[in-house]
A = this chain, B = another copy of it.
Amino acid sequence: MPQATQAMLATHPQRESAAFNMQALTACIEACFECAQVCTSCADACLGEQEHLMHLVRCIRLNLDCADICTATGRVVTRLTQADPAVLRAQLQACVAACQACGDECEMHAREMNMEHCRICAESCRRCEQACQQLLGGMNA
């Protein structure tokens, strides 16, 4: 995806009007789509953890929320044409909140239950949270 995402932005007719640093924007788009995929996968892996399933209910729920929110955020930040800063900012903040909650929960299961898929998912949530924060930081500047 990295190459395609970047190539699309480089050929976009409205790239000059974008409010963002292109490198930070590329990183945020990639992180949102990656996190949406990884959270969908973690929810499904948790659902397949037969004897541990009861302990993973909150994890599944937060994975599903985070996947939906990252999907919406990834689409919104992908669009450069006639962007609305207030909408971008609010959706990026929602993505930060979802990635924090899901990352915390997954980190706990990685640490306490040695769940490997939760460890990988927590890392993906952290990357996405930071990429959104960086874009938000650039907007306020």
Give the contact-size bracket for chain A: 35 or more
Nearest chain B residue, comparing its CB with the CB of A6: B120
A141 at the interface (CB under 8 A from B): no
Contact between B98 and A90, CB atoms less than 8 A apart? yes
Give the docked Cα–Cα distance between A81 and B33 (Å): 22
**Chain B residues whose C-beta falls within 8 Å of the C-beta of A30 in the assembled complex:** 1
Q: A69-B91, A90-B97 are in contact. Are A57 and B36 (CB under 8 A)?
A: no
Give A contacts to B, CB under 8 Å: 1, 4-5, 7-9, 11-14, 29-30, 33-34, 36-38, 40-45, 47-50, 53-54, 57-58, 60-62, 64-65, 67-69, 71-72, 74-76, 78-84, 86-87, 89-91, 93-94, 96-98, 100-101, 116-117, 120-121, 123-124
